[in-house]
Amino acid sequence: MSRDPSPGSGGLPPAHSLPAVIDPNLSDPFLFGPPDSDPWLEGEALSEGAGRRILIVDDDALLVQRMCALLDQEFEVQGVCTPAEALDRFRAGERYAVVVSDQDMPGMDGTTLLREIQALAPETVRVLFTGLYDMEMASRALSEGRIFRFLMKPCSVDDLATVLEAAVLRHRRKTTWSQAKERMRFCNDSMQGFTKVLEQRLDQAHYSVVFALARLAEERDNCTGHHLERVSAFCRVLSEGLRDAGHYTDELTDTFIRDIERSAPLHDIGKVGIPDSVLLKPGKLTEAEWCIMRRHPEIGAETMNAIIATSPGASFLTMGRDVALCHHENWDGSGYGQGLVGEAIPLSARILKAADCYDALTTWRPYKEPWSHERAVAHVLGEAGREFDPKVATILQASERKFDHLRCALSDATPIA
């Protein structure tokens, strides 16, 4: 802006504006963001933003005063004489559609000021005055200040007003774009939260239905009470104990532990397919009857596969199939079902087997009196390496106080809220 006004220019000397040659890698990213031709970025659809508020920054107080007076009819213009004053206004919460800054000022140049303003108020459009066009300075102004236009001194009021009109429109578009992005972010976050709630409710609905089926199988086997709750709790204790001891840490994730606690009740779900004449027989089973009884792991797996087909995303159902199919496998291969040996047996089934055995031994059944806690723990430990995974058996012994506490707290004489 010229410091020596001459006649015929509305109080400012005739001049020209320098069209900004914008490098897309350096300029305001908005310039190459939302397409200006979109209807929602035009006319009444645009946000008002900061309106037509303009801030002039120049160390020549008389020049700032003249510019404010000449532009006052078309814009809401304010002026300051130092970069510090300009920054104070932004930091205090003042917002402007456009800031026009001189380049050469004491203490802080215009490029640095506009860079600071970009950080404080990204929607404010930045215009730079300079008396000397230098390519190095221009490159810095584009990359650091993200300016919208250069204006060379001296500059006519008409040229300045034209640039300001374009800058105000740019500000409105930037504000509209930012608000739309924020609304989209809010909608996306809300949708994700809503989807998560629906998934949790669907997952819980799946679990409720399958658990009810598991409970039905237990009741047919004369095994009522809190057996399912105890076995689930024992499985969690064993899983956490194994992980804490450094065993099977690749498998024992938080998801695994959550799933085994939920899938443990499904281990005997296959008994729904065993005839009452076999399942409820009070005496010893014949060899033919044992062949029928030993089909319940396979029936359980088939049942779970049918459920999984309708709900493929529920990981606890997949684990439920594993425990249903493999919970009668023995570590040394002497069990039944698939005839698996050692770690070929799913970890979930190995954990479940120890938990289920301890519970069966320490509770009353039609064919036996309950064993003591100490005797049951000794049995599991004694069968380590034959019937049970040795690591699982060792953890059960190390966790025996927790097992005894849960056994008493969830005894069949204790109601569960």
Name the strands in the sheet holding 149-152, side by side, starting at the edge strand that comes first in the sequence: 76-80, 53-57, 98-102, 125-130, 149-152
Q: How many residues are present in the chain?
A: 417
Q: By C-alpha distance, which of 412, 281, 299 is closest to 359?
A: 412
How far apart, in whole angstroms, are the C-alpha atoms of residue 52 and residue 97?
Answer: 6
Instruction: Give yes or no for a contact between 86 and 57, defined as CB atoms under 8 angstroms apart.
Output: yes
Q: Which long-range contacts (C-beta less than 8 Å, at least 24 apart) are formed by 183-189?
A: none
Q: What is the DSSP letter of 75?
A: S
Q: What are the Cα distances from residue 130, in Å, to 18, 28, 56, 150, 153?
A: 10, 19, 14, 7, 6
The phi and psi torsions of 214 (rounded to 5 degrees) equal -65, -40
Among the listed residues 271, 281, 353, 402, the single catalytic one is 271
What is the number of other CB atoms lying within 10 angstroms of the CB of residue 398? 13
**Within its chain, how far is the Cα of 314 from the centroid?**
19
Catalytic residue check, 271: yes
Contacts of 112 (CB under 8 A, 6+ apart): 83, 144, 145
Q: With the C-alpha atoms ordered 181, 183, 186, 190, is the resulting torsion angle positive or negative?
A: negative
Catalytic residues: 271
